[in-house]
Chain A
Amino acid sequence: MLSLRKLIVAAACTLAVSATADELGYPEKEELTFGFIKLTDMAPIAVAYENGYFEDEGLYVTIEAQANWKVLLDGVVTGRLDGAHMLAGQPIAATIGYGTKANIITPFSMDLNGNGITVSNDVWEKMKKHIPKQADGKPVHPIKADALKPVVEEIHAAGKPFNMGMVFPVSTHNYELRYWLAAGGLHPGYYAPHKGDTSGQLDADVLLSVTPPPQMPSTLEAGTISGYCVGEPWNQQAVFKGIGVPVVTDYEIWKNNPEKVFGITEEFAEKYPNTTIRLVRAMIRAAKWLDENDNANRPAAVKILSQSNYVGADYDVIANSMTGTFEYEKGDKRSVPDFNVFFRYNATFPYYSDAIWYLTQMRRWGQISEDKPDSWYKDIAAKVYRPDLYQKAAESLIEEKLVSASEFPDFATEDGFRPPQTHFIDNIVYDGKAPNAYINKFAIGLKKGDKL
């Protein structure tokens, strides 16, 4: 009897010890600096700070706005920044060595959707004639680039180029704008890095160039570009300023497309494992807060974002898209409840298939100049996207009952691939497991075997 009791006590002791050993340790690095670009989808970082989620993890985070995506990426690579709000394409491009070469990983995907394409008033007037009308006289959505094509042809006939802005060569916006243009029969141009041509304007009908997000409206106003693809609030800003009209959101180009990610260096994750898990925990909580109770916290989030040190645009401008509506032409405000998704539909889980979609577009437009086997796509995705880190953070939150397991993918069976996705503006189905077959489906773009 006595020995049995001893045994139980001993067992209880070992159990307790192992439990504390499994418990997440204190962060190795406590003072962190995160970079962001002034866009509403940086919200998880701002909310994690303002709601004290970072501090709950023992992290003292300084949040710094960056001038443009290149400066931000260099900051993470050189260690000036510990982590940053990044374009999904940035960690992938850095890993395959397109542009700056660096081992950047992403343990946390920040949001779905959130971008739009805006054209100048002038172009809009000309486009309008080619867009079918609803019964109430408003244009039928989604507006396809078919309506833009005659306008571009007209401008070309006058001997002038048609220019549009996007935010970075490997940005979601570049691929979305290209997708939309190509779906409407307009060629956005190829890259040929093996020949030293990184302008992305080979064979182009529409010349795309890089402009930092906050400068989009003023560049459009100056007439340097006739339209752009950018995240919020810079499309709504154009409506407020009366200088342009958003024609399509990325939700309509590809429903629930992955958008920004949180990027850190692989070295950081290895050197500071607890810090990494803890920062992911803080951001999962922030993302959950942002989507809780059908976006009930969004007005509070908009208030945070409108502070001058975060996005800094007016409350009304940010609220327009963040609270589930989107204003196209002035007065044409439509409901888009999923315009910004931060947590629903497993938005924060880093799916391999999301990374592979970006790789397929890099191949389609020549940024990857040679054919790669399907296995290569999977390998790169697994190198950059780290669901394992995400899983650890999520499981520890579930254990502490801060979130429920039902809010996450079933980690036991999850293989990191979303089921084949429909809901593209051109109705082409995307299956992350067969990237080469997917690339071959496009009318415009490089196919298997093509080389410039």
Chain B
Amino acid sequence: MNALIQRFTGAAESGESLPLQALAILKQVALPVLGIAAFLLLWGLLAKQVDTSLGSFPGPASVAEQVKNLYQEHVAERAKADAFYERQEKRNADRVAKDPNYVPKVRAYTGKETFLDQIGTSLVTVMSGFLLAASFAIPLGIAVGLSKPLNEAINPIIQIFKPVSPLAWLPLVTMVVSALYVSDDPFFAKSFVNSVITVMLCCIWPMVINTSIGVSSVNSDWVNVGKVLRLSPLKNIQKIVLPASIPAIFTGMRMSLGIAWMVLIAAEMLAQNPGLGKFIWDEFQNGSSSSLSRIMTAVLVIGVIGFLLDRGMLMIQRWVSWDKSQAAR
């Protein structure tokens, strides 16, 4: 029990003297900055050496320029969208004047998705797939972790499907979705459903495995306490199993989210579903002189977002985690 508490609280709160702390902060800030600076320098130098048929490989400067361009394009597109709505309003008003029975309808802007829109689309897609997967995987993981027979029954299936790249599923998912998901005015676009399901398929396994491991390795003393108190099975899960296995569940979730983000980009590229993956593919197809630097920009953005997603999960974990509630008490 003590060991557990120590594991959760970590060594951060062991009081250190002030100069030592300053040194630690310096280390925490200066070293990463140094690393990044060295990387930028190396990147800038090496990029110039690589000549492709679309010009030399983009260095940091051309990426910075594209960041600016992409943002300006976004602003310009928004202005176009505003003009579009204005024209539409006028056209609708004219038609109502001529044809009083007409019920005007406001249609969404038909222009292109900007880079920022694509980021938004990808984020929404990955979170939807991830949450959908979590809603299946965590209950399943708990059930598998609590019941040995169930574990033995399901384990071979998990072991077989776990190593399958979700991209291998993509053609099947596409065909099944277009066969089953038929409606005249679908609430979700088919491409979105395809991406979400593909993401879900890759998210499920790490979460199931980690949850079940977390659940099955709950400290036996605590399980015994539950038995002594004669907790109902549900109460047992709520009061003992879940709080104790939160770290393991979150480890699984963080792994899943990381994989989901990687897979989503590939799936978008392959299936031409809107999002960052499609942005990269489109730029590759365009083959213009700025294509490579735009792709490089997207690569960095994908990396940064992946990092932020992971940090976000970590923050949520700290927030819901059992050790913090322990501390609050």
Interface set of A (CB-CB < 8 Å, partner B)? 26, 30-31, 38, 49, 52, 55, 58, 60-63, 65-67, 71, 78, 80, 214-215, 217-218, 221, 237, 241-243, 306-309, 311-314, 317
Shortest CB-to-CB span from A450 to chain B, Å, is 39
Contact assessment for B289 and A61 in the assembled complex, using a CB-CB cutoff below 8 Å: no
B176 within 8 A of A: no
Q: Does the CB pair B287–A313 fall under 8 Å?
A: yes
Instruction: Across the A-B interface, give the 8 residue pairs with the lowest CB-CB distance, nearest first.
Output: A312-B286, A309-B112, A241-B53, A214-B285, A62-B110, A60-B107, A314-B288, A313-B288
Which residues from 97 to 126 on chain B have a C-beta closer than 8 Å to any C-beta of chain A?
99, 102, 105, 107, 110, 112
A-B residue pairs in contact (CB < 8 Å), sample of 7: A63-B110, A67-B272, A71-B272, A80-B190, A237-B287, A308-B282, A308-B283
C-alpha gap A326/B95 in the complex (Å): 47
Instruction: List residues of chain B with CB under 8 Å of any chain A CB.
Output: 53-54, 87-88, 91, 95, 99, 102, 105, 107, 110, 112, 178, 190, 272, 282-283, 285-289, 291, 294
Q: With a CB–CB cut-off of 8 A, which chain A residues contact B282? A: 65, 308-309, 312
**In the complex, A142→B178 CA distance in Å?**
48
Q: Are B190 and A214 in contact (CB under 8 A)?
A: no
| Given A55-B88, A309-B282; 15 other pairs, CB 8 A cutoff | A26-B102, A30-B105, A31-B107, A31-B110, A65-B282, A214-B287, A237-B287, A307-B112, A309-B112, A312-B283, A312-B286, A312-B287, A312-B291, A313-B286, A317-B288
Contact B91 A38 (CB under 8 A): no
Residues of chain A within 8 A of B288, CB atoms compared: 306, 308, 312-314, 317
Closest to B294 in A: A308
Interchain CB contact under 8 A, B91 and A26:
no
A63 / chain B contacts, CB cutoff of 8 Å: 110
Query: What chain A residues lie within 8 Å of B294 (beta carbons)?
Result: 308
Closest chain-A Cβ to B76's Cβ sits at a distance in Å of 11
Q: Which residue of B lies closest to A49 (CB)?
A: B110
Q: Which residues of B contact A308 (CB under 8 A)?
A: 112, 282-283, 286, 288, 294
CA distance A71 to B54 in the complex (A): 27
For A314, the closest partner residue in chain B by CB is: B288
Could you tell me the distance between the alpha carbons of A55 and B94 in the complex, rounded to whole angstroms?
13
Tell me the smallest distance from the CB of B152 to a CB of chain A, in Å.
Answer: 44
A242 & B87 in contact (Cβ 8 Å cutoff): no
A58 to B95, CA, bound (A): 10
A62 and B112 CA atoms in complex are apart in Å by: 8
B286 touches A241 (CB 8 A): no
Q: Are B283 and A221 in contact (CB-based, < 8 A)?
A: no
- A180 CB → nearest B CB, Å: 25
The answer to whether A217 touches B287, judged by C-beta atoms less than 8 angstroms apart, is: yes
* Contact (Cβ within 8 A) A78 B53: no
Asked if A217 and B107 make an inter-chain contact with CB atoms under 8 angstroms apart, the answer reads: no
Tell me the minimal C-beta distance from A225 to chain B in angstroms.
16
Residue contact B178 to A55, C-beta cutoff 8 Å: no
Residue in chain B with minimal CB distance to A61: B110
A214 pairs with B286, CB closer than 8 A: yes
Bound together, the chains give a CA A218 to CA B102 distance in angstroms of: 52
A-chain residues with CB within 8 Å of residue B107 when the two chains form the complex: 30-31, 60
Q: Which residues of A contact B289 (CB under 8 A)?
A: 314
* B112 contacts across to A, CB distance below 8 A: 307-309
A335 to B258, CA, bound (A): 54
Please give me the residue from chain B that is nearest to A243 by CB atom.
Answer: B53
Q: A241-B53, A312-B288, A314-B288 are in contact. Are A60 and B283 (CB under 8 A)?
A: no
When distances are taken between beta carbons in the complex, the residues of chain A under 8 Å from B286 are 38, 214, 308, 311-313
